[in-house]
Structures are given as structure tokens and as C-alpha cells.
Amino acid sequence: MTRYRSFTDWKDVSIELLNELFTPLRPWERLERLYRYFPEHEILVTSSFGTQSALLLYWINRVCPGQTIYFIDTTYHFPETLAYKDQLSRQLGLEVVDLRPAPAENALTREEAWWASHPRMCCAINKVAPLEPIKEKHRIWISGLMAYQTEFRARLRVFEKQGDIVKFHPLIDLEEGEFLYYFGKNGLPEHPLAGEGYGSIGCTHCTERGEGRSGRWQGSNQTECGLHPGYFVRRGKG
């Protein structure tokens, strides 16, 4: 594919213009255009290898085979999630790099059960902090969020500025029925726990059975892990 311009050329282009250019496209067309405009080494891809991760990974791999996929291993994942990661990696030929939290801080969250008493800080230590050094090397971050999943996600556009990085949501306006259609059409395997009533899967202590994301952080007002909403973004310098 011919790359029209690099991200550096586009650094002064507004988020509004990017949304105008990309919103009319279908999800895979957005990805194709992204890799025409932006250098691969400045594009960050992360995956939780949850129940809805496979479709985005499939499309990314079709557009840019060999794109590095970062997996944040909090040390609290279900064994089924780790097995699913290995399965998808083999089936799709993914280049997956594991990121882990600082051992001492991770051990403290385990010893004091911070997922119960300090869930946001537990996420900050085990999910947000390991990714920070990687984020600093990238300019744009591909995310698989979809509007139908939560009220917060329903307010997002294809492109959003989050701190010092631009978030790109190629699937944001995909309806649930469309997602299921493309998931099945491309022969993608389900997460092993999806058939057991888990609509969304994160760490073991903060995930219960439930439709959609209703099983995440039950009994609290938390709806996101900190990678997406604004309270954990990296602040600008100056």
C-alpha cells in the first residue's frame, strides 16, 4: 500500500478533521487508511484477549501482518485467557509481547487484596504503569472499544485525544449484531469462558458472570480499568 503522509506530517491536523476523514469508512477500511497515513512503528496495539478481542486482531493482522500486539499480564488473568491468547497467536500468526507490573508493587496488591479495597490503584499498578514506557514511544493507540458496550464508550468518536496520545477506535460504531456477524464469518474462536456466561473478562478478582460488561467490578461504581477514561491519562508537559 502507498502511504500518503506520515504521522509527523499530520501532527498539527485536528482530531475533528481526522474524524471527518475516517468516520464514513467501515472498520477495516479505517485500519487500511490508518496504515497508509501513519508509520507502523508509531502505532500502538494492545489486547486483553477478552471475549471481543479476536475480530480487531484479525483485521489488524490482515492489514499489517507482523504488527506487535502488547498484552498486559497483570498476573491475575484467568488461565483460560492465557490459553486463548496462545490459541489466537498461533491461529492468526500474531507477534505478542507480554508486559508485566513491577514485582514488588504487584506483590503488595496481592498481599493486601487491593482489588477489593483500592481497585483503581490496583489497576494503576498492574495495568496502567506497565504500559506507560511503551506509550511514550508511540503516537497513536488502536483500541477495540465499541459504543454499544457502555455509556462512556457511547460518547467516543473514531479519534479521541487522551493525554499525550491519540486513541483510534475503528470499531466504535459497530453494532453488536454486526460484530457477531463478522466474528462468525471470519471463523474466529470464542474465548473459552464466553460460553459459561462471561460477557466481558478481565482479572479474576474483578470479573463475574454477566451479560456485556455487567460482570466487571460488580458492587462498585467502576466501569473501566484506567486504560481508557481520563483519570489515568499521562499529563502533558510544560
Domain-located, residue 138: yes
Q: What is the DSSP letter of 141?
A: E
Question: Is 213's pLDDT higher than 60?
Answer: no
Please choose, from the candidates 206, 210, 208, 209, the residue with its C-alpha nearest in 3D space to the C-alpha of residue 226. Answer: 206
164 confidence band (pLDDT: 50, 70, 90)? confident
pLDDT the model gives residue 148: 84
123 in active site: no
Catalytic: which of 122, 123, 203, 225?
225
Q: Grid coordinates in use for 174?
A: 459497530
In whole angstroms, what is the distance from residue 21 CA to residue 55 CA?
23
Total domains in the chain come to 1
d(CA 18, CA 62): 22
Query: Whole domain around residue 41: which residue ranges?
Result: 13-195
Provide the pLDDT confidence category of residue 223 given band limits of 50, 70 and 90.
low
C-alpha 218: how far from its chain's center?
A: 21
For residue 122, what is the domain's CATH number?
A: 3.40.50.620
- 108 assigned to some structural domain: yes
Structure confidence at residue 2 (pLDDT): 39
Question: Which residue has better confidence, 2 or 112?
Answer: 112
Split at pLDDT 50, 70, 90, the class of 233 is very low
Q: Is residue 111 part of a domain?
A: yes
Count of C-beta atoms within a 10 Å radius of residue 97: 10
Would you state the pLDDT for residue 152? 77
3-state secondary structure of 71: strand
With a cut of 60, say whether residue 219 has pLDDT above it.
no
Structural domain includes residue 212 = no
Strand partners, 160: 167
- Give residue 78's region: left, alpha or beta (phi > 0; psi -120 to 50): beta
Do the domain assignments include residue 63? Answer: yes
Does residue 237 carry a pLDDT above 70?
no
Helix (H) or strand (E) holding 99: strand 95-99
Cα dihedral across residues 130, 53, 142, 19: positive or negative: negative
In a domain? residue 224? no
Confidence of residue 227 (pLDDT cuts 50, 70, 90): low
Q: What pTM did the predictor assign?
A: 0.85
Give pLDDT, residue 39.
92
Residue 172 lies in a domain: yes
What is the mean pLDDT of the segment spanning 12-23?
88
Min mean pLDDT across 137-141, 154-158, 190-194, 230-234 is at: 230-234
The pLDDT value recorded for residue 12 is: 57
Nearest to 46 by CA among 187, 217, 165: 165
Phi first, then psi, for residue 232 (nearest 5°) are: -120, 15
State the Cα angle at 26 between 212 and 201, rounded to 5°.
20
- Is 111 exposed, middle or buried (CB count within 10 Å of its CB: 0-12, 13-18, 19+)? exposed
